[in-house]
């Protein structure tokens, strides 16, 4: 350990720009076993492990780094999977620079954090290759829990409940499990086989999965309350935000989730996407990670020109710097301090978008009396999300707050037997925090059901 003077930081390498913009495959190549061992050996093994505090799951990072450096992959696999429901996924898509790696002592002192995410991903990926398995052998208890939504919050809850012998059934309205892991985050960031492998693993160990099953429409809450000892709600927050502009529902104006989901579904079915950016000028409005996923998806669809317009400056962008840099590298054109004013249409077709120029006065956004007209064939809005309307939950007394998010007290809802977590409580957030909610909600559920944890 402590070989940070001997070895420089090395992270997963990107495929070259020219190669990667013509396909939807992941852009990062995994670290080799040899590289992972070397990189893990850079860890200082600090007395106070700041990295573990920076990780929402409180993963035992210094422990598994030491195991990897000592080539004890089996122990690293075991302890990495103890606190996390899918470390190989988080290793790829967590904004590490803002979490574990951002507070690594080597980052703070030398600007060269241990490549924690890449090593975390290596441990479980390599462990699966070695044939290591996860333990779902807890004795069965006579309790069953229904989970609504198969996103990271739902899958995490299923994982931890099953480890305690509880029977689990997931109800998912989509045709595939995974929530935004499947139909939000594009394949070039997270290969869908990685998500499906975890889902299959849970099914092989007894989880029931009901796809195309929307609770409130195909299945009633009354039935679930009758048939299960507890219900966990992890329905996310994917309701789009509209600006109220004329023409914003034109056939060539899309909300980010409609665009990303349509493109991903076409890839699953091996067919051409019904939303096609090829040879078009695509304008994406927004400056977060979802906007970056949209511009990079349009690029891969061979758009003629992809522009991203954001109402504040580059330094104010809310998403990950890494994803912004990737978009710039892939040829996306960014303009700042522009806010949408009107969508211009001729003979039913979009021609351009008029943007009001803005500036910052301190942290306050000021709208100027100047405009810019930007040509567009397709406009995609990536302006954030709210929790869907849920009359089926409102009517039985599952309360929301003034922002439309569910109220939760230690993962309990305002109604007996119903628990919740993930984006439907927090608002649009991160996979790792949805995973945390699933793990911690499990503790509350087990306690309430009288199951020893
Ligand atoms: C485009 C995009 C990119 C992102 N990229 C990243 C990233 O790189 N890293 C990161 O950490 N986070 C990222 N996020 C955020 C992250 O995906 C979410 O925070 C996380 O998925 C929330 O998990 P969840 O389980 O709460 O909800 P979701 O993942 O939204 O899952 C909710 C599930 O519930 C289902 N559902 C809803 N209503 C019902 C119903 N009535 N009956 C049955 N099923 C229902 C939905 O179909 C869905 O499958 C991204 C988000 C988006 C939109
Ligand atoms: S889950 Fe995320 S924050 Fe935690 S160790 Fe893994 S990459 Fe870092």
Any idea which fold 13-130 has? Fumarate Reductase Iron-sulfur Protein; Chain B, domain 2 (1.10.1060)
Work out which ligand 1 atom sits closest to the CA atom of 256: 1
Residue 53 · residue 214 · CB < 8 Å: no
CA of 447 to the centre of ligand 2 (A): 27
CATH H-level superfamily of 242-383: FAD/NAD(P)-binding domain (3.50.50.60)
Please give the full DSSP string across 362-421, using - where no structure is assigned.
TTEEEEEEEEEEEE-SEEEE---EEPPP-HHHHTTT--B-TTSPBP-BTTB-SSTTEEE-
The residues lining ligand 1, judged by C-beta closer than 6 Å to any ligand atom, are: 93-94, 148-154, 171-174, 179-180, 184-185, 189, 214-216, 234-236, 238, 260, 289-290, 293, 422-424, 429-432, 434
Residue to substitute in 211, 223, 235, 395 for testing ligand 1 pocket (most ligand atoms within 8 angstroms of CB) = 235
Residue to substitute in 100, 114, 435, 438 for testing ligand 2 pocket (most ligand atoms within 8 angstroms of CB) = 100
CA of 422 to the centre of ligand 1 (A): 8
Length of the chain: 453
CATH class of 144-238+386-449: alpha beta
Rounded Cα distance, 240 and 255, in Å: 7
Find, among 401, 400, 408, 405, the residue nearest to 386 by Cα.
405
Rounded Cα distance, 80 and 212, in Å: 33
Find, among 137, 178, 135, the residue nearest to 156 by Cα.
178
CA of 50 to the centre of ligand 2 (A): 12
pLDDT values of the chain reduced to their tens digit, one per residue, 453 residues = 899 999 999 999 999 999 999 999 999 999 999 999 999 999 999 999 999 999 999 999 999 999 999 999 999 999 999 999 999 999 999 999 899 999 999 998 888 999 999 999 999 999 999 999 998 878 899 999 999 999 999 999 999 999 999 999 999 999 999 999 999 999 999 999 999 999 999 999 999 999 999 999 999 999 999 999 999 999 999 999 999 999 999 999 999 999 999 999 999 999 999 999 999 999 999 999 999 999 999 999 999 999 999 999 999 999 888 899 999 999 999 999 999 999 999 999 999 999 999 999 999 999 999 999 999 999 999 999 999 999 999 999 999 999 999 999 999 999 999 999 999 999 999 999 999 999 999 999 999 999 987
Find, among 273, 274, 272, 293, the residue nearest to 284 by Cα.
293
CA of 202 to the centre of ligand 1 (A): 19
Name beta bridge partners: 381: 255, 285
Where do the CATH 3.50.50.60 domains begin and end in the chain?
144-238+386-449, 242-383
Instruction: Write out the two tokens for 96.
Output: 């590490």
Please give the full DSSP string across 96-158, using - where no structure is assigned.
GGGTTGGG-HHHHHHS----HHHHHHHHHHHHHHHT------PPP-S-EEEEE--SHHHHHHH
Instruction: Write out the two tokens for 339.
Output: 């806010």
Where do the CATH 1.10.1060.10 domains begin and end in the chain?
13-130
What pLDDT is recorded for position 74?
Answer: 98
Residue 104 · residue 51 · CB < 8 Å: yes
Strand order from edge to edge, sheet including 349-361 = 338-346, 349-361, 364-375
Name residues whose C-beta falls within 8 Å of residue 269's C-beta, 6 or more positions apart in sequence: none
User: Which of the ligands is closest to the CA of residue 383?
Assistant: 1
Work out which ligand 2 atom sits closest to the CA atom of 435: 1
Work out which ligand 1 atom sits closest to the CA atom of 438: 25
Ligand 2 pocket, residue 55 CB under 6 Å: yes
């Amino acid at each position: 350990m402590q070989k940070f003077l001997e070895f420089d930081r090395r992270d997963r390498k990107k495929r070259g720009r020219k190669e990667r913009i013509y396909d939807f495959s992941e852009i990062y190549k995994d670290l080799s076993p040899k590289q992972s061992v070397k990189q893990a050996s850079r860890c200082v093994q600090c007395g106070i492990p700041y990295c573990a505090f920076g990780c929402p799951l409180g993963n035992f990072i210094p422990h598994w780094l030491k195991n990897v450096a000592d080539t004890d992959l089996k122990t690293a696999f075991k302890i990495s999977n103890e606190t996390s429901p899918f470390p190989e996924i988080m290793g790829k898509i967590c904004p590490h620079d803002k979490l574990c790696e951002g507070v690594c002592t080597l980052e703070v002192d030398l600007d060269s954090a241990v490549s924690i995410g890449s090593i975390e991903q290596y441990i479980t990926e390599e462990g699966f290759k070695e044939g290591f398995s996860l333990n779902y052998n807890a004795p069965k208890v006579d309790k069953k829990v229904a989970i609504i939504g198969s996103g990271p919050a739902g899958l995490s809850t299923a994982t931890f409940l099953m480890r305690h012998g509880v029977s689990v059934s997931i109800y998912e309205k989509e045709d595939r499990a995974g929530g935004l892991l499947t139909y939000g985050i594009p394949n070039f960031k997270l290969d869908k086989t990685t998500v499906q492998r975890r889902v299959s693993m849970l099914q092989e160990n007894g989880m029931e999965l009901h796809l195309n099953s929307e609770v409130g429409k195909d299945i009633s809450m009354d039935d679930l309350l009758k048939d299960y000892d507890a219900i966990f709600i992890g329905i996310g927050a994917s309701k789009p935000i509209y600006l109220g502009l004329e023409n914003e529902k034109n056939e060539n104006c899309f909300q980010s989730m409609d665009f990303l989901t349509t493109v991903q579904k076409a890839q699953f079915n091996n067919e051409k996407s019904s939303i096609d950016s090829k040879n078009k000028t695509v304008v994406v409005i927004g400056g977060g990670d979802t906007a970056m996923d949209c511009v990079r998806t349009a690029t891969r669809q061979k758009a003629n020109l992809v522009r991203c317009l954001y109402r504040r400056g580059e330094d104010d962008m809310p998403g990950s710097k890494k994803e912004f840099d990737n978009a710039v590298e892939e040829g996306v054109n960014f303009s700042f301090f522009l806010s949408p004013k009107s969508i211009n249409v001729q003979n039913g077709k979009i021609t351009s978008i008029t943007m009001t120029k803005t500036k910052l006065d301190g942290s306050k956004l000021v709208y100027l009396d100047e405009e810019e007209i930007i040509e567009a064939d397709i406009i995609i809005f990536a302006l954030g999300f709210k929790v869907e309307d849920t009359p089926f939950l409102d009517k039985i007394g599952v309360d929301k707050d003034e922002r439309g998010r569910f109220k939760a007290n230690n993962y309990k809802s305002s109604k007996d037997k119903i628990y919740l977590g993930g984006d439907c409580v927090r608002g649009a957030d991160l996979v790792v925090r949805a995973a945390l909610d699933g793990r911690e909600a499990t503790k509350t559920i087990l306690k309430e059901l009288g199951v020893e944890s």
